[in-house]
Amino acid sequence: MTKQLEGKIAIVTGGSQGIGRAIAECMADAGAKVIVGDKQPMESSRLHWHLLDVTDENSVKKFVEHTINKYGRLSILVNNAGIMPNSSLTEQSVEEWDQVMAVNLRGPFLMAKHAVPAMNTTRSPVIINIGSIEGISGNPNHSAYMASKAGVHGLTTSMAIDLGPKGIRVNAIAPGWINTELNQGYLEGLSDQKTAQKELGKLHPIGHIGEPSDIGDTAVWLASTQSRFVTGQVIRVEGGRMSQLSLPSIFNREH
């Protein structure tokens, strides 16, 4: 296996499960030492976990200090921590809206603010923000989530401009429907899971939904020198879903 990230020190926020855990595992496979920052503890023989609340600046500062004290440097920052409530615009509370913005948007800002000074001393540093295709298009009852992820995409562009002269590349990944615990729980709440799975597959020209490792592999590429001329981009990893215009199901039956 090629060790594209050999000798790199990587932080992955929200990495105890789902997409974040896959990113952490893939980066470890590629040779990086990975520190997972999360409020939820995790067990792993090769990933180092440390408590982190991305909405709390003191917590962020202590987490970055812990990383530098333990490893001496920081090469890669992956801002993955996020939440996605399901509330209509008129029923959503101000507190819920503020919490989504705090986790999904303030979190990446705070992490970058305190990580960048440490990254300035390393070779080819990289920041990867996890956005969403819902920062580009969307689904019902996701106003706060969509707004926050659109903000993440905008923040990515701004960071790429401001940090490029420091030698720091910044990109975002916009995942589509990924087979995570969260999405599995959503499907389990439906009356006909088999049909739902089939219909989900049809939304993607590639014929199936994504796996967390699809995002992890993309993150490894973005963190490696193979993408050394890529910055300020939002990379959609969504099986072609946004390239295909939907039609009523009867059209599919008639052709």
For residue 249, CA distances in Å to 197, 199, 202, 253, 255 come to 15, 10, 10, 7, 11
Contact of 47 with 33, CB cutoff 8 Å: no
C-alpha–C-alpha distance, residues 40 and 20, integer Å: 12
Whether the Cβ atoms of residue 104 and residue 156 lie closer than 8 Å to each other: no
The Cα–Cα gap between 161 and 144 comes to 26
Of 49, 63, 109, 145, which residue is the catalytic one? 145
Among this protein's residues, is 145 annotated catalytic?
yes
**CB neighbour class for 63 (10 Å; exposed up to 12, middle 13-18, buried from 19):** buried
Active site residues: 145
